[in-house]
């Protein structure tokens, strides 16, 4: 017989144990009921992410440049994937992706209950094989996703950019936009700059699954949302003009920028060499990616906004403006060009080694006389020259709506002292800067903006590619409002002199830009030939037209092309000619407002 004292001890212990058990039951079933119900619901109810349709890209006339086409992707749920070790190798074999890559994607998942994409753009054969094993692998899902499809008329790969799977760093900085691991985002070009608008917003639906992960029905829940499609983008680009520019540069390096001087809209942005954007619509192999990155032609590099070059004689216009505005020069001054000028023991040559003879200010612009501008550089302080260079937008990005734009370089006295020492540079360096050589560097987009400034006598609009958005779910357009600027402290007389010199350069005998002239409209322009230590000189042409009532401004750069007048000016002529043909075609149609016949 158990003593009374031990009975009391046993009874007390049992009471304590039951009290602990009841407390735990209360904690699990009452206090944390919501938490475990949520876990249970996640096991029973699967959230399915509904991807939005990416917005299309159009040109200024409404032609589709970048469309969507359906493709299939494969996703798995980490929770089921990790507890089915025997099936992991089967999945890797089915989708053609190494297991280590799939494992890495699963480990990066933010939730075990959200599907992770493990393969994109799978073939129809792969799709059939996965469907055949749907009972064996119920936690694999097939999604229909839009893949980019291009018009085929143009590449414009630097303009459009491409899509790629979001990186860990991007995901960390952009989680507030509803992005998850595996999403595709813009990596370059318009696709990157306007990714938030083009991408849209994902929605969510919910399905009920059994203990094996097999879908058994749909579930209606309050938090279900429909995807919001991305906005369509209408660019300022003209498909017909872009197509011509790409054709003209088919076997060349360099490119063209054509701007509407009234709006700042970019009508042409052609950079060559480039690549076929279709490459990025499929899974890209390491070999193909390395070939693009290591390409000797630097096909991934957008020469129009990223590359920096000496501008050659096109920059004589800046020195001319600085000379007039500081009153160190006047248009009546003449110089006798014998083809060279001596500076101490050094001889600096004119591009015309036979000499231009007697030239005045306007002749010097028209015939691009080096000797005249060598002598002008001795009168204009280097800081005044640099100040006017920056006034015209050099040494800073234009702000075009693309990623990765370069600033160029405008060397002033402080820069030259820092680089060469106070006594380490002299008049010879100023001679180089006077004709657009030396440490002066510009981008083609800056030169196109400069041509727009000259066309509008100081008024200009920030270069841009976006014209308007169309939001399908709102049924409304939203128009881009670009920044408008006015250069101050440049007299009307200076603008008129610069314009007159440019008109003479293209339309008068002896002008270096004669190859850009058209018989039916007056073009203003300036050529440039920039020495290149790595090969042939770079050929430049900048200009605008019509000269008296400007509509468009252009910059043409031909890498290693030689003479600007011989190589760049003829390309500008072709682009101008096509532009005015298109404009005349548009104006040949009149809208019928009464009983009069339409004129076609």
pLDDT of residue 212: 59
Residue linked to tokens 């003449």? 334
Q: Which of 451, 462, 469, 590 is nearest to 523 (CA)?
A: 451
Half-sphere exposure for 394 (CA within 13 Å, toward CB): 30
Dihedral sign computed on CA atoms, order 112, 114, 120, 121:
positive
Residue 537 has a CB neighbour count (10 Å cut-off) of 21
- Cβ atoms of 199 and 229 within 8 Å: the answer is no
Structure tokens at 491: 């007299």
Residue 331: DSSP 8-state: T
The whole-number pLDDT of residue 85 equals 83
Run means of pLDDT, 10 residues per run, the chain, 600 residues = 66 78 70 58 73 96 96 88 84 89 84 84 89 84 90 93 92 83 93 97 83 66 86 98 98 97 98 95 87 94 98 98 97 97 95 97 98 98 98 98 98 97 94 97 98 98 98 96 96 98 98 98 98 92 98 98 97 98 82 38
Q: Which domains does the chain have, with CATH numbers?
A: 49-235 (3.90.1310.10), 241-287+297-586 (3.40.710.10)
Tokens in use for 303? 């020469």
pTM exceeds 0.85 for this model: yes
Our CA angle for 190, 193, 196, nearest 5°, is: 110
């Amino acid at each position: 017989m158990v003593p009374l004292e031990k009975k009391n001890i046993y009874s007390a212990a049992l009471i304590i144990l039951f009290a602990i058990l009841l407390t735990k039951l209360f904690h699990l079933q009452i206090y944390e009921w919501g938490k475990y119900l949520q876990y249970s619901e996640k096991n029973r109810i699967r959230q399915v992410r509904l991807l939005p349709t990416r917005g299309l890209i159009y040109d200024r006339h409404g032609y589709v440049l970048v469309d969507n086409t359906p493709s299939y992707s494969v996703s798995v749920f980490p929770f089921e994937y990790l507890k089915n070790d025997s099936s992991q190798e089967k999945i890797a074999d089915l989708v053609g992706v190494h297991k280590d890559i799939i494992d890495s994607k699963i480990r990066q998942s933010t939730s075990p209950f959200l599907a992770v994409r493990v393969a994109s753009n799978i073939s129809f054969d792969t799709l059939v094989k996965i469907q055949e094993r749907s009972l064996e692998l119920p936690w694999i899902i097939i999604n229909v996703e839009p893949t980019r499809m291009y018009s085929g008329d143009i590449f414009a790969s630097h303009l459009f950019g491409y899509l790629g799977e979001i990186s860990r760093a991007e995901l960390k900085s952009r989680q507030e936009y509803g992005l998850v691991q595996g999403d595709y985002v813009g990596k370059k070009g318009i696709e990157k700059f306007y990714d938030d608008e083009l991408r849209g917003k994902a929605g969510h639906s919910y399905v009920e699954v059994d203990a094996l992960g097999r879908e058994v029905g749909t579930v209606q829940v309050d938090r279900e949302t429909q995807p919001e499609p991305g906005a369509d983008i209408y660019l300022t680009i003209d498909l017909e003009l872009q197509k011509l520019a790409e054709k003209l540069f088919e076997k060349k390096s360099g490119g063209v920028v054509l701007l509407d001087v009234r709006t700042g809209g970019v009508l042409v942005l052609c950079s060559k060499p480039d690549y076929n954007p279709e490459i990025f619509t499929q899974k890209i192999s390491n070999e193909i990616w390395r070939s693009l990155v290591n390409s000797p032609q630097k096909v991934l590099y957008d020469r129009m906004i990223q590359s920096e070059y000496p501008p050659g004689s096109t920059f004589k216009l800046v020195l001319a403006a600085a000379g007039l505005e500081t009153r160190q020069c006047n248009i009546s001054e003449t110089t006798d060009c014998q083809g060279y000028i001596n500076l101490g023991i050094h001889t600096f040559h004119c591009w015309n080694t036979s000499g231009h003879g007697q030239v005045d200010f306007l002749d010097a612009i028209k015939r691009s006389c080096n000797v005249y501008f060598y002598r002008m550089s001795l009168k204009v302080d280097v800081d005044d020259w640099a100040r006017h260079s920056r006034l015209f937008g050099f040494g800073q990005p234009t702000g075009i709506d693309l990623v990765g734009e370069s600033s160029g370089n405008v060397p002033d006295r402080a820069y030259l002292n820092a680089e060469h020492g106070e006594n380490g540079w002299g008049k010879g360096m100023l001679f180089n800067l006077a004709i657009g050589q030396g440490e002066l560097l510009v981008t083609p987009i800056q030169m196109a903006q400069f041509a727009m400034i000259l066309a509008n006598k100081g008024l200009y609009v920030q270069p841009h590619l976006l014209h308007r958005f169309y939001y399908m779910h709102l049924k409304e357009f939203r128009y881009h409002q670009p920044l408008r600027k006015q250069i101050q402290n440049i007299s009307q007389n200076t603008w008129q002199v610069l314009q007159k010199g440019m008109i003479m350069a293209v339309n008068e005998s002896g002008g270096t830009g004669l190859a850009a002239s058209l018989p039916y409209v007056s073009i203003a322009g300036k050529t440039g030939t920039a020495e290149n230590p790595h090969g042939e000189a770079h050929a430049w042409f900048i200009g605008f037209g019509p000269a008296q009532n400007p509509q468009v401004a252009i910059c043409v750069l031909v890498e290693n092309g030689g003479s600007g007048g011989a190589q760049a000016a003829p390309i500008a002529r072709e682009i101008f000619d096509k532009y005015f043909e298109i404009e005349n075609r548009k104006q040949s149609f009149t809208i019928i407002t009464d009983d009069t016949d339409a004129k076609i």
